[in-house]
Amino acid sequence: VLRDRFGIGYAGIGGAQTAISLGTATMMIVGGRMADKRGRRSVMVAATALMTVAFVPFLFVTAAWQLYALLVLVPMFGNAASGAFGATQMEAVSPDIRAAYGGACQGLSAAGMAIGSVAGGFLYAISANLAMGSAIACCAVGLLIIWGLVEETGKVFPKTVPSPSPVADLAEDAAI
């Protein structure tokens, strides 16, 4: 898309991937902490809802800078729930099969990304809007599944002393 539609070179594509990775890494840390403090299900629902909504502007992108912004934003929202998903998965099974279960979940996730990428490529060849609409629909179905089937797991830690900022919260946790 970046090369075909906007004429972006390989350096620009690499820059976009770097921004996506840094944003994603940051949100994984923040999202994991939020899941411990606010509850895993609530973080999964909020992140998936935000990711679903953030996909919609892809339908209206007319400039490369808009695409870059969305390519950073969507994975940040989606990956904010990674810690919550991982913890929920591990709490769902007995300790003696957690490693096998975790490996199966990661393997299935990788297979899903591969299948989604191929399907998205085929759909994009037909219509960019069809590909984006399908991504939005998949996110919405995921949101409904989480909303309807996932129960809150794990201990939700109440905040006893208000912290000045989420960054201070993370710094405090790192010091412990």
Report the pLDDT value the prediction gives residue 163, as an integer from 0 to 100: 53
Q: What integer pLDDT is reported at residue 168 of this predicted model?
A: 56
pTM, 2 dp: 0.74
Identify the pLDDT of residue 169: 58
Predicted local distance difference test score (pLDDT) of residue 155: 55
The predicted structure's pLDDT at residue 142: 92
Q: pLDDT at position 118, please?
A: 94
pLDDT of 47: 93
Per-residue model confidence (pLDDT) at position 1: 55
Per the listing, tokens 């405090």 go with 172
CA pair distance 48, 82, nearest whole angstrom: 11
Query: E strand or H helix at 45, and its extent?
Result: helix 40-55
Spatial separation of the C-alpha atoms in residues 70 and 19, rounded to whole Å: 11
End-to-end CA distance of the chain: 45
Beta-carbon contacts of residue 105 (< 8 Å; ≥ 6 apart): 89
CA nearest 48: which of 31, 60, 23, 33? 31
* pLDDT of amino acid 135: 92
Average pLDDT for runs of 10 along the chain of length 176: 63 75 88 90 93 92 84 88 88 88 90 92 92 93 91 61 55 54
pLDDT for the residue 154: 61
